A and B are shown apart, each in its own frame.
Chain A
């Protein structure tokens, strides 16, 4: 046989009758597409049918088209590894993640309830502090938090909405129910990827998309604009700006995208100045007043006169203008006290306390070591739990019980006993898997779900989400900085 012919045969194998997922290994407790007996779940049927008719090389071609489209649009983040900064796209997986109408209805109800309670909590903490007097949340947890902003005391915010844009991370537990893993209440990002993914994936599967009745998400920018407008005390001719740290920020694309889609100005700190407690932008025609700022800069950097004085990203005098009521800032400052790891455990209690309702969406079960009963449970079960230090993030100060040695566990137990208030523990969470197109084959990969909730005068959730996916086999880490990608999320109409 000639060598050339052999090579050709290898390059284009015949598609097998069972299509692209012949070797799809079901290992996780819950897979989004396949039930435990290997049958395709009903809401994935139309997609599965279409996939069965597409040879892998066609899928590959469509995947390439998606990636090229992202590169051309400049939807990239910059990696500063060597002298030459390289631009990378955040990988988008071709195969959408599908959520049924019933599942979505519950998510929507649960998240509205949750953001409602969290905003009531923030108003309370920066106001009468009833929740502390009633002993629902310990005082030390609030006043000891580095996200607590004394400067926000007694300051009223429009509609009591401290958090105007929230991105909550949901995962499925082993029973297949969505639970909340964490809330992002400061400057959550990712919504531009939700919209950009839709744009390219819809083009890859136009017929299936139409047939399945996927709900639209394109109105997100308009809803965001409405939310921001509702914060201004007067409703005509409100001047709004998106405040970005600048072009070197990894989420810059999103800031520019949202500003463009809303039709408002994208500004950097150096474009703004404060005179007599009024905020202006410097324009070619002179100074122009700004009424509402959607800021994508952390609290610490927003005003060097009040917070970090070494910040060059912020605007000197901005906070005083805010206190004077001359400008609205979304999200409000100091919302970070409501999304740290320890407070998370209290959210179900806050929902009961403020709303007198049972939580629609549960938390991942969390043990607070500051509570005696939990402490003894944690110490007795260190080999099955993940223990996290409250003040740390990014995997620091953490013990993964099942993977730790006896000596490591004993050492960690000492630390917990010495400072129980600083630790929480959770069972190891198995994320659900969804079919993902990796290196020419469809394989299961772990996913989470981040919907975006808006609260101003109204509370609105656009029926869609960012699905983040861990592209490494078996990995549970979905962060884009650590090999994560994303998927388009299709919420079905009914």
Chain B
């Protein structure tokens, strides 16, 4: 596979994952608002903003209208939903011939649908509805991605992008809820919302009943091996995908990135929640994020931007 193509697939997938995550956070937030006081709602919005790394752009936001607008449409905010979708689509356009018609058309339609919409147009009646519908479209996109593309090298680059992005998003999400920087301590309802932010409410209840305990929630979102939005699940997918990409690359070229992924897997496989909850969670999450960035850099050096002299 062309290195440039691998790069575009990887970024397309990262942006799609980011867009889906953003959409879900806004949908859940807007739907849960009616159960909250103004102060609770504001604190909750602040956590959403922190989870999406949009603090700088949302510092003057006061009401839900502002938050929704900044997180969805604000051009200056690089993590705004519309920008993530546009970036995903721009990358897809670069590798149009590598994608199936279904994948391209789903993504293209998704962008074309949101692109002309303004905050005022959706704010009049039930704004959460739009985000729910977009979320459904994103699930459909994921479905056709899995069912219409061959699960070859390109698909594994999509997997790498998706799960490297997801691992980092989970880290930030937990940091926003458990970290020292939070505006107000979360209450029961906030833990429920956290699970919904991660599509984890029903799976969590099945595993641990509806008794919502912060430690158990953190453990579930970090270390559950079967839940697809847990850190561990994503790290496993990254490790697996790395063995499938660049099938013809010499072992020496694979070594660096595979070693980094193995180290991350060990950190997750042997993590203990009771060791972390005594104040060790924030540095642990920072370390995980750092390791994800190292894997990204090493992936580039091995497969995307290597010099000709290293292989001839």
Contact = CB atoms under 8 A, between A and B. Distances in A.
Interface of A: 71-74, 247, 252-253, 256-257, 259-260, 265-268, 270-271, 273, 275, 280-287
B4 A284 contact: no
A285 B248 contact: yes
- Majority DSSP secondary structure for residues of B touching A: helix
A281 B311 CA distance: 12
Interface in B1-34: 1-4, 6
Contacts of A252: 93
21 contacts: A72-B108, A72-B109, A73-B101, A73-B104, A74-B104, A74-B108, A247-B93, A247-B94, A256-B96, A257-B96, A267-B2, A271-B2, A282-B3, A282-B4, A284-B1, A284-B245, A284-B249, A285-B246, A285-B248, A286-B311, A287-B312
Given A74-B104, A257-B97, A283-B3, 15 more contacts: A71-B112, A72-B109, A73-B101, A74-B108, A247-B93, A247-B94, A260-B97, A267-B2, A268-B4, A271-B2, A275-B308, A275-B312, A284-B246, A286-B253, A286-B311
A290 B306 CA distance: 19
A257 B249 CA distance: 29
Contacts of A275: 308, 312
Contacts, number: 70
B61 to A, nearest CB: 25
Interface residues of B, number: 30
B304 interface: yes
Given A283-B3, A284-B6, A286-B311, A74 B246 contact: no
Nearest to A72: B105
Nearest to A253: B96
B124 to A, nearest CB: 25
Contacts of A285: 1, 246-249
B240 interface: no
A148 B4 CA distance: 34
Contacts of A287: 308, 311-312
Contacts of A266: 97
Contacts of B153: 284
A72 B96 CA distance: 13
B115 to A, nearest CB: 10
Interface string B76-115: 0000000000000010011011000100110011001000
Interface centre among B96, B153, B308 (most CB of A within 10 A): B96
A76 to B, nearest CB: 10
Contacts of A268: 4
B303 interface: yes
B304 A284 contact: yes
A409 B247 CA distance: 69
A110 B102 CA distance: 41
Contacts of B96: 74, 253, 256-257, 260
A287 B2 CA distance: 9
Contact of B248 (A72, A280, A286): A286
A282 B2 contact: yes
B308 A73 contact: no
A284 B101 CA distance: 24
